[in-house]
Amino acid sequence: MFALLLCMMLLPWANASRCETTAAVATSSATSEPLIAALGQPAPARTAFAEARFLKVLDKPLVVSGELAWLGGDQLQRRVDHPNPETASIANGEVTLQRAGKAARTFSLSHAPQLQVLLDSFVALLSGDGSRLQQAFNISQTGEASGAWTLTLLPRDAKVAKAVASIVVDGYGKQSRCMQMQEADGDLAIDLLGSLVEKMPAQPTRESLQALCQGAH
């Protein structure tokens, strides 16, 4: 659960993508560095998000929306406004979960080294540090930074891979716009960010969201 939470907090900002079919061939991690560098931005950075989680144990996806914020360094925040307000924050090596009417829950990242790996790697993505990101993920890229592109991240750490099978980020130009996180147990989370938030269907399906990501400019 906490691995999923951390991944959802560490999304690249201002995003949703166009994965149009191209003749581009997937590139290696090293050749993805120019694109990753172009995605880096100064903190603080904030964006709206709408997320649908498809769980094997549920007939319908769970849909939430709110705001994601990178406050610099290892400080990140995920605020859910709908349907039930809650805030998850990472700062000073700790994760804090706060829900309305309940006491805050806090745990140290030192007790979950695989989450620290995810934190370090996604901070590298947000800051545009491609070489640092490669330490945690095998990275492949299709498309170019001048148009539509897709980054696929596969965890190198076996413990991380037991929770997260892959993370796919779609974007256009210098903006990443849509993220899909495939969990190792088969569950899937798809996040629409920025301007795509308003296009979240009333009854989303995997196919409708993936088509939306692939058709966004």
* Residue 22, SS3 per DSSP: coil
* Dihedrals phi, psi of 50, to nearest 5 degrees: -135, 125
Sheet of 148-155: strands edge to edge? 105-108, 94-99, 86-91, 75-82, 62-72, 45-54, 188-193, 175-183, 164-172, 148-155, 137-143
- The pLDDT assigned to 147 comes to 86
Q: Residue 76: beta bridge partners?
A: 70, 90
- The pLDDT assigned to 202 comes to 92
Q: What number of CA atoms fall less than 13 Å from residue 20's CA on the CB side?
A: 9
The answer to whether domain 2-215 has CATH 2.50.20.10 is yes
Tokens 């308003």 found at: 198
Cα 65 to Cα 81, 86, 112, 135, distances in angstroms: 6, 11, 27, 31
- The pLDDT assigned to 113 comes to 65
Q: What is the largest CA-CA distance in the chain?
A: 53
160: part of which helix (H) or strand (E)?
helix 158-161
Domain boundaries, the chain: 2-215
Buried b (16+ CB within 10 A) or exposed e, 113-150: ebbbbbbbbbbbbbbbbbeebbebbebbbbbebeebbb
> Measured between alpha carbons, how far is 40 from 129 in angstroms, rounded to an integer?
8
Buried b (16+ CB within 10 A) or exposed e, 97-109: beeeeeeeeeeeb
Token pair of 139 as six digits: 């990275």
- The pLDDT assigned to 87 comes to 94
Per-residue pLDDT of the chain (217 residues; tens, 9 = 90+): 344 445 444 433 333 232 232 333 344 556 788 888 888 878 888 889 999 999 999 999 999 999 988 888 888 888 999 999 999 888 888 889 899 889 999 988 887 766 776 677 677 777 788 888 888 889 999 888 888 888 999 999 888 888 889 988 888 888 878 889 898 999 999 999 888 899 999 999 999 998 888 875 5
- The pLDDT assigned to 15 comes to 32
Q: Residue 12: beta bridge partners?
A: none
pTM above 0.85, yes or no: no
